[in-house]
Amino acid sequence: MKIAVFVKQVPDSAAKLSVDNGTVNWGDAPLVINPWDEYAVEAALQLAEKHNGEVAAISLGDENAKEALKHALAMGAASATLVSDPALAKADAAAAARVFAAAVQKLGGVDLAIFGKQAIDSDTGLAPAMTARVLGWPALSMVAAIPSLDAGSIKVERAIEEGRQIVEGKLPAVLSIVKDFAEPRYPSFMGIRKASKAEIPVWSLGDLGISAPDSKVSWAEISAPPARDVTSEMVTGANADEIAAKLADLIIAEGVL
C-alpha cells in the first residue's frame, strides 16, 4: 500500500503575530510542522505498519518547509519531497490542490493521500476535498478512526458536527485526519538522525509537468483584529454564595441570557 501524506510548515501556535507592511510577522517564534498534520503522519504510519505499506511525505512551500518534511521523516516516513516553485508564491487553495494532485500522480500508484484537517495559519481546510476532486477520488474528511481497509476499499468514522458518520469509500481515496485518531508519536533518536542526513528532492512545476494553476482567491490585506475593548470587573464577596449572587446579577444585566 502506497500512502502520500501532505505536511505544511507553519509558525508555532504559541506565536504572537503582528502585521508589518501587509505581511505576517511571527517574531522569533519557531516554524513547526502544522500540528494537525502530525495526526495525518501518525495515521499514515499506522496504516503502513498494518498493511505493509510505505509513506511518502510531500510539502508545498519554500526551503523552510524541508523542516516539516524532516519531522515526518523522523516520525518514520520512508521518503520526503518538497514541491517548490516561485510561480506558486500566491497560490490559493484550489491552485495548491491542483499541484498536490499532480504530485500524487507523479509519485504513482498511490492508494491513499492523507491530509491534516486544516493548516493553522491559513485556516481554510479546503485542500483535502479539492485535491480529491481534481484526482476524481472520493474525499473522506475528518476521519477519527479507520475500522477497516483492504485492497479496494476503506471504511472510516468521520467526526462530523452531529457525532460520527461511518462511510465506506473506494480506493484510491483522499483522507483528512482529526485529533481523535491517535496521539502522534515522538520522533525517535534514530529517526531524527536519519532525517537530519536525508537529502530532500525538490520538484518544480516543470518536474510535475504542469504550468502554474490560476489562483482565483487573493489576499488584498492582512490586519490585526481590533483590540478587545473590555472593562474588567473583579467580583468579590464574603463567601461563595455572596460572590455567586453578585455574579449572577451582573451576568443577567448584560442581557446575553
Partner 1 sequence: MAGIWVYVDHFKGAALPASYEAVAAAKTLGGPVTALIFGQGVDALAQSAFHYGADEVLLGDDASLADYRAEAYASLLSKLAKEHQPDAVLFSTSTRGREIAAMAAIDLDTGVLVDVTGISKDGDGFAATHPIYAGKLLSKVTVSAKPALITLRGRAFGKPVADTSRSGSVTKVAAAVADGDLQTKVVDYATVEGRVSLADAGVIVSGGRGVANNPALTPPAEITDEKEKEIWRAQQGFLMIGELAQALGGAVGASRAAVDAGYIPYASQVGQTGKVVSPDLYIALGISGAIQHLAGMRTSKVIVAINKDPDAPIFKLARFGVVGDLYEIVPALTKALKERLSK
Q: What is the largest CA-CA distance in the chain?
A: 74
Give the integer Cα–Cα distance in Å for 200 and 55: 14
State which of positions 41-80 bind partner 1 (CB under 8 A): none
Which listed residue (126, 182, 208, 212) binds partner 1 by CB under 8 A?
126
Which listed residue (50, 63, 64, 166) binds partner 1 by CB under 8 A?
166
Unique residue bearing C-alpha cell 500508484 = 109
Size of the site for partner 1 (CB under 8 A): 86
State yes or no: residue 188 binds partner 1 (CB under 8 A): no
DSSP string, 118-156: --TTT----HHHHHHHHHT--EEEEEEEEEEE-SSEEEE
Which listed residue (94, 96, 114, 200) binds partner 1 by CB under 8 A?
94
- Mark 204-223 with x for binding to partner 1 (rule: CB under 8 A) and - for no binding: ----------xxxxxxxxxx
Select the span of 106-114, 184-192, 194-202, 249-257 touching partner 1 (CB under 8 A): 249-257
DSSP string, 39-89: HHHHHHHHHHHHTT-EEEEEEESSGGGHHHHHHHHHHT-SEEEEE--GGGT
C-alpha cell read off for 14: 504559541
State yes or no: residue 190 binds partner 1 (CB under 8 A): no
- The minimum distance between CB 110 and partner 1, in angstroms, equals 16
When the beta carbons of 78 and 171 are compared against partner 1, the nearer one is 171
